[in-house]
Structure 1
């Protein structure tokens, strides 16, 4: 044993995600059940879920309609793969419904198990597209500073959060990636010029950055990205894993901002987290090449065992009906107004540097000497789950079923926690 060796800490067999283990052991909260906008720990604490889990519990927890949809489907067929000539009826049905909702006209729908899968598929498809088009130099995938696109190899490689990229012995797990400015569209143009449009396959962007700190697009920024991509013949991939299916008050943020992407990735909100499911909308300019009636038509080698999982698709179909039945997209637009008004009341607090919001998602940025993690810990003690993000920012993204009063209580509790910790 080496001198000054540190003891190995004991803990549960489960290795937590995205965790510095010594910091979380013995202070982990075990959630055992949910009800609406609330979850309950094994210690009996009731917590308002102000983050909707990881941005996904849009219709709230433990809805019987979705449990029944899964139960009924499993009794009929749990799943069957969608490889080659085989399909299952639920995947076919869901894809047709999604195609009708897609902001991309006449799309094909690739289904998989979640957002990281979707990003991996979209980036690979972008590179495959240009190889087939006879432009093999177009291989670089651009993404934005502070971006989060999951943690598969491609998501790690295009991450704009450096701590998710570090420690793997190479600058980028998948080669040919680069970051562009999140705020300055002229800086984006300069980066594109430096790399050269003949070397760029695609640009991936969240319409509203989530994990990077809840950063809505600056005025004209997304339109600038669209113009750069169109002029440079660069594929535009919008990552709507967080924003898709109503989080912005529109079915997709693509519609809110009037964008025309070549691909859209989606996940979380398609089932509100009741089953793992994600996918990609693909525009005709990309998919048609793979559908031509010719002996030399190429194959795109994508797919996973649980792609188009029948039970997950059944849950998604019932969930989409539920969004409509409960009129939750108009409700998000109402809650956005309430949230913005409540956030405005925080502007008087010197320790709060900035509030940022769009739809039913917000980030509250704190002064550097005040720990966002300490505030979120204090809020747990007060009965609210929030989350610290990059930039010393606190995330708010409650379920769509949240009441006006619950929003006011949430922001009021945050205000009290910040004031109580300021100067400590």
Structure 2
């Protein structure tokens, strides 16, 4: 039955209903569909199934927490123990010393929270003109109000009656530091509240940073009194071979956005780690201001218990280190694809993820469908690019299988 009520996200619904792929089971790096096919999950679902599918330990953590207390909100003076413990754990793990943590329901929530908070910060600093949030071309920061507004993918931002849902936004070149700084200088940074960036651009096509770009943009932000927001929704919790990409690229963020790998998708949960420069004023003194923001399910006790179990698995099984090892395995496996006549470019080596950009004359969606027919689940992201981002439990042979399957699929066109 194709005519079902579910409205898929980011979907052309007539196509999605006609070609719907229903996943029913998962085990490690593998999935089973409703028609009985077994598929290697080359995308870790939406970049998040880091510890693999079907972890009984994580399911039991959710069950035990629900039996005790499914959740209780964290508004006002209320809290629950899993939320308190997780916030402390993230503050210790994260790339910010002495930070505070606000919990959310996912990555898009974290983006909206951060964009509101940087504007609130400058209002309290007595600099109300600093409202503009700068992002990079081809960037993806979710699809909530602010995320839509700062999107570097035009098709995600357009179609709502204005150039940007929130008007105070600006996009800069994603890889050319000189051009980016020149544009910022011309615009005038007196109005800029923050620069937000992904250390490795994900949905925008899997682009690692050009040498010197991140460091240069960070130095500019520090010199011009602009906050730096690092979106680690995809890169956080091991995808780049360290717990956070900010460590790998020597970034010193004022805010760090987290989600996806925080629970490996076993529960919807996100977080924003906030440096003392921004957070301290809200914690100090009887006259401390309030940040009037919150979500019904922020600090959800069961989701936080799931996050603890997921982080335990990452640490005890050495999966972050495994991702670092598999980064080279994947880069070596996909490199021969660069010579295929139907491949425009292969991008790998900035973590355990890769993008294979197919030439414009061939639809990447058709190649992805052929991969599925051959037993490997991938999908197309920006610039006609096949996404490869497997779970950390994927074996070396399975990583190579992804690459050879893409090659075999391309050979059919």
Q: SS state of the match for residue 188, structure 1?
A: helix
Q: 2:99 aligns with which of 107, 111, 121?
A: 107
Q: 1:366 aligns with which of 358, 364, 367?
A: 358
Q: 1:74 aligns with which of 40, 54, 66?
A: 66
Name the counterpart of 1:42: 34
How far apart are 1:161 and its partner, in Å?
0.5
Distance 1:11 1:158 in 2: 34
Distance 1:294 1:190 in 2: 43
Distance 2:245 2:340 in 1: 31
Name the counterpart of 2:160: 168
Instruction: Spell out, residue by residue over 1:311-359, the C-alpha distance to the aligned partner (whole angstroms, 9 max, x if none).
Output: 0000101111100111101111111111111122222212212111221
Distance 2:15 2:328 in 1: 37
Name the counterpart of 1:305: 296
Q: How does 1:280-319 map to 2 (within 5 A)?
A: 280-295=272-287, 297-319=288-310
Q: 1:12 aligns with which of 4, 14, 18?
A: 4
Q: 1:343 aligns with which of 334, 351, 359?
A: 334
Aligned residues: 412
Name the counterpart of 2:312: 321
Q: 1:201 aligns with which of 189, 193, 213?
A: 193
Distance 2:324 2:289 in 1: 44
User: CA RMSD, aligned part only?
Assistant: 1.1
Distance 1:14 1:347 in 2: 38
TM-score for the superposition, normalised by structure 2:
0.98
2:103–2:299 Cα contact (<8 Å) kept: yes
Name the counterpart of 2:208: 216
The 10-residue stretch of structure 1 (158-167 or 342-351) with the greater mean CA deviation from structure 2: 342-351
Name the counterpart of 1:387: 379
Distance 2:337 2:34 in 1: 33
Q: 1:239 aligns with which of 199, 217, 231?
A: 231
Structure 2 residues not aligned, in runs of 5+:
none
Name the counterpart of 1:406: 398
How far apart are 1:237 and its partner, in Å?
0.2
Distance 1:385 1:126 in 2: 38
How far apart are 1:302 and its partner, in Å?
1.3
Instruction: Spell out, residue by residue over 1:58-94, the C-alpha distance to the aligned partner (whole angstroms, 9 max, x if none).
Output: 1111100000000000000000000111110100011
Instruction: Spell out, residue by residue over 1:103-128, the C-alpha distance to the aligned partner (whole angstroms, 9 max, x if none).
Output: 11110001010000000000000000
Distance 2:186 2:4 in 1: 49
Q: 2:17 aligns with which of 25, 28, 47?
A: 25
Check 1:246–1:10 CA distance in 2 against 1; reply closer, same or farther (3 A cut).
closer
Q: SS state of the match for residue 39, structure 1?
A: strand
Distance 1:378 1:350 in 2: 17
How far apart are 1:247 and its partner, in Å?
0.5
Distance 1:294 1:311 in 2: 32
How far apart are 1:10 and its partner, in Å?
7.0
Q: 2:121 matched to 1:136? A: no
Name the counterpart of 2:55: 63
Instruction: Spell out, residue by residue over 1:175-197, the C-alpha distance to the aligned partner (whole angstroms, 9 max, x if none).
Output: 20010000111111112112211
Distance 1:70 1:150 in 2: 26
Q: SS state of the match for residue 79, structure 1?
A: coil
TM-score for the superposition, normalised by structure 1:
0.96
How far apart are 1:228 and its partner, in Å?
1.2
Q: SS state of the match for residue 337, structure 2?
A: coil
Task: List 4+ stretches of structure 1 deviating above 2 A.
Answer: none
Distance 1:279 1:98 in 2: 9
Instruction: Spell out, residue by residue over 1:275-319, the C-alpha distance to the aligned partner (whole angstroms, 9 max, x if none).
Output: 000010100000111112133x21001111100000000010111
